[in-house]
Amino acid sequence: GAERDRVIERIKTLLKEQDATLVAHYYVHEDLQMLAEQTGGCVSDSLDMARFGKEHPASTLVVAGVRFMGETAKILSPEKRVIMPTLEAECSLDLGCPADEFITFCDQHPDRTVVVYANTSAEVKARADYVATSSIAVKLVEHLKDEGRKILWAPDRHLGAYIQKTTGADMVLWHTACVVHDEFRTRALKDLQQAHPDAAVLVHPESPAGVIELADAVGSTSQLIQAARELPHETLIVATDSGIFYKMRQAAPHKTFLEAPTGGHSATCRSCAHCPWMAMNGLGNLLEVLEKGGNEIHVEETVRQGALRSTQRMLDFAS
Ligand code: 13P
Ligand code: SF4
């Protein structure tokens, strides 16, 4: 309505006035994805969010996503002001890998190269040799394996098991899972596949192994959108956060999209596969942070330098 349009115009003005750019993840509300597109910001997966934030000349980055994405932006661009619509947006993988326990685990495996998912705190990244996102994790571990290295992977156990299976690398795994992707169900997905035999199945690798096994394409959010565009199938069953449909429909407007079934699926839950923390970002708190300030990401300088080493290695490997 008119109020929403007013808020959007006000946000656009404030972004300009503050030399700020909006960096959004595919899982946030489509209003925010649209705003990022319209204002020259970016909507992307976590690797491209990191790259974009680092390369963009704006002095303020407004990161619409979850905390680790804001932290990664700050790790790479300490000179920029990094703010978020909310600082409450966590990630179950980050929460499931506290730095002190993680450091003890690493100390128990001194012979292993430590590779951590980007969905971790700056403290955890500071203890790691490499950071990886889902778009490059398999390639990175493949490369490290070819160098003869044994791997310690944290924190997502499904992604870890998938990398292990794909590369055959010697890996020990941390045990956490994503609360959203862990809910996808193998049996129900098989039933849906049977009902739609011509459909392709697109799966984010944070999903359980049985779900990944049924996939025609496995990859990061950007890679899944690319698969939606490029695969010949007219119907696509998608096992990832439902926020992705905004971009997927743009990428393949004539295709039919079905949500992969989750354990929590019920008549009262229209879209169960949606990250509760991503959902905390909205037009309201975006406007508020631009108007009032606050919600700034700070990373202690020694931690930042440690995390920069492993994060920069990711960017160097990815380029
Ligand atoms: P991507 O890097 O694939 O965007 O994944 C981030 C994430 O949090 C998935 O749940
Ligand atoms: Fe973390 Fe899962 Fe939410 Fe992604 S969807 S931010 S992995 S809790």
Mutate to test the pocket of ligand 1, among 27, 71, 93, 275 (most ligand atoms within 8 A of CB): 27
Summarize the confidence of residues 195-200 as an average pLDDT. Answer: 97
In the predicted model, is pLDDT for residue 138 greater than 60? yes
In a domain, 269, yes or no: no
- Name the pLDDT band for 241 (thresholds 50, 70, 90): very high
> What's the mean pLDDT when you consider all of the chain?
96
In the predicted model, is pLDDT for residue 101 greater than 60? yes
Summarize the confidence of residues 165-185 as an average pLDDT. Answer: 97
In a domain, 267, yes or no: no
In a domain, 19, yes or no: yes
In a domain, 133, yes or no: yes
Q: What single-letter DSSP state applies at residue 270?
A: S
Q: How many domains, the chain?
A: 3
- Name the pLDDT band for 104 (thresholds 50, 70, 90): very high
Contacts of 232 (CB under 8 A, 6+ apart): none
Contacts of 52 (CB under 8 A, 6+ apart): 23, 41, 42, 44
In a domain, 117, yes or no: yes
In a domain, 6, yes or no: yes
- Name the pLDDT band for 212 (thresholds 50, 70, 90): very high
Summarised one tens digit per residue, pLDDT across range 284-299 is 999 999 999 999 999 9
In the predicted model, is pLDDT for residue 214 greater than 60? yes
In the predicted model, is pLDDT for residue 153 greater than 80? yes
Q: How far is the CA of 204 from the centre of ligand 1 (A)?
A: 8
Instruction: Please check whether residue 304 is in contact with residue 75, taking contact to mean a CB–CB distance below 8 angstroms.
Output: yes
Instruction: Please check whether residue 155 is in contact with residue 174, taking contact to mean a CB–CB distance below 8 angstroms.
Output: yes
CA atoms in the 13 A half-sphere facing the CB of 40: 9
Name beta bridge partners: 83.
Answer: 62, 296
Position in ligand 2 atom list of the atom nearest CA 93: 1
Residue 272's pLDDT is: 73
Phi-psi region for residue 292, left (φ > 0), alpha (ψ -120 to 50) or beta?
Answer: alpha
In the predicted model, is pLDDT for residue 251 greater than 70? yes
CA gap 241, 43 in Å, rounded:
15
Q: How far is the CA of 2 from the centre of ligand 2 (A)?
A: 33
Residues 73 and 124 in one domain: no
Q: Give the residue from 231, 220, 223 showing the smallest Cα distance to 257.
A: 231
In a domain, 118, yes or no: yes
Give the closest ligand to the alpha carbon of residue 96. Answer: 2
User: Got the DSSP string for 248-261?
Assistant: HHHHSTTSEEEEPP
In the predicted model, is pLDDT for residue 269 greater than 60? no
Summarize the confidence of residues 203-207 as an average pLDDT. Answer: 98
Q: How far is the CA of 20 from the centre of ligand 2 (A)?
A: 25
Mutate to test the pocket of ligand 2, among 47, 95, 180 (most ligand atoms within 8 A of CB): 180
Summarize the confidence of residues 150-169 as an average pLDDT. Answer: 98
Residues 170 and 190 in one domain: no
Q: Which domain holds residue 19?
A: 2-89+278-298
Mutate to test the pocket of ligand 2, among 120, 207, 241 (most ligand atoms within 8 A of CB): 241
Q: What single-letter DSSP state applies at residue 112?
A: S
In the predicted model, is pLDDT for residue 267 greater than 90? no
Q: Where are the alpha helices (DSSP H) in the chain?
A: 2-17, 30-38, 46-55, 67-76, 92-95, 99-107, 122-127, 137-146, 157-167, 186-195, 209-213, 221-230, 245-251, 283-292, 301-318
In the predicted model, is pLDDT for residue 97 greater than 80? yes
In the predicted model, is pLDDT for residue 123 greater than 70? yes
Residues 135 and 172 in one domain: yes
Residues 114 and 166 in one domain: yes
In a domain, 148, yes or no: yes
The CATH number of residue 150's host domain is 3.40.50.10800
Residue 13's pLDDT is: 98
User: Got the DSSP string for 23-57?
Assistant: EEETTS-HHHHHHHHHTT-EEE-HHHHHHHHHH--
In the predicted model, is pLDDT for residue 89 greater than 90? yes
Residue 264's pLDDT is: 67
Contacts of 210 (CB under 8 A, 6+ apart): 186
Residue 263's pLDDT is: 87
